[in-house]
């Protein structure tokens, strides 16, 4: 059975992905943008599996969903590390 909140998360996730696609040329100026976007895409993938598991392969896709959450949080940690530990002069 599909859950409303999970569908909303997925729809929002796709909309943001679309937005990223449109504004990709500007967004690629963010430092380590590939890491950041990977973190986000892993999250969207997790939301996708959380909906798909309601239709097929519930057990495996559920594991994948949570695996992707973990993957996403690790990738974001890497991005934060890469981006926020460089030396910046305080004005």
Partner 1 sequence: MSFIALFDLISVIVTIISIIIFMVRWRRTLYPDIRYLLLGLLILSFFYYSSLFIEWSGITNYFEKTEDLLGAMIPMFWAFIFYTFLQLLAKKDLQNSEEKYRRLIQNSRDIIFLIYENHFEVINKKFDEIFNLTIEEVNQPDFKLNKLFARKSQFALNRLISQVKKKEKLDPSYNFTVLNVKHEEIDVEASFNYIKYKDGIAIQGIMRDITERKRLEEQLRQSQKMEAIGQLAGGIAHDFNNMLTIINGYSEILLKKEFSAEILNYIQEIRKASIRATRLTSQLLAFSRKQIIQPKLINLNQIITNQIQMLRRLLGEDVAISTVLDPQLHSVKADIGQIEQVIMNIVINARDAMPLGGKLTIETGNIQLNNEYRRLHPEAKSAGYAMLSISDTGIGMDEVTRSRIFEPFYTTKGRDKGTGLGLATVYGIIRQNNGFIDVYSEIQKGATFKIYLPVEHEKEKSIIINSLDEKKLQGNETILLVEDDDGVRAVTESILKKYGYHVISAANGEEAIRIYEEHVGKIDLILTDVIMPSMDGRELVEKLFEKDNNLKVLYFSGYTDDNIVRRGIISEGMEFIQKPYTQIELAKKIRSVIER
Sign of CA dihedral 42, 47, 51, 54: positive
Residue from the set 35, 40, 48, 49 that interacts with partner 1 by CB under 8 A? 40
| Summary count for the chain: helices (H), strands (E) | 4, 0
Pick from 2, 55, 57, 63 the residue near partner 1 by CB under 8 A: 63
Among 35, 43, 49, 53, binds partner 1 (CB under 8 A): 43
User: How far is it, in rounded angstroms, from Cα 37 to Cα 20?
Assistant: 9
Query: Is 49 a residue that touches partner 1 (CB under 8 A)?
Result: no
Q: Which is nearer to partner 1, 6 or 38 (CB)?
A: 6
């Amino acid at each position: 059975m599909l859950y409303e909140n999970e569908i909303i998360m997925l729809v929002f996730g796709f909309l943001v992905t679309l937005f990223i696609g449109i504004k990709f040329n500007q967004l690629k100026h963010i430092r380590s943008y590939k890491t950041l976007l990977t973190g986000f895409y892993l999250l969207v993938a997790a939301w996708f599996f959380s909906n798909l598991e309601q239709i097929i392969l519930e057990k495996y896709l559920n594991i994948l969903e949570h695996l992707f959450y973990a993957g996403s949080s690790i990738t974001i940690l890497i991005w934060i590390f890469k981006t926020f530990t460089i030396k910046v002069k305080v004005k």
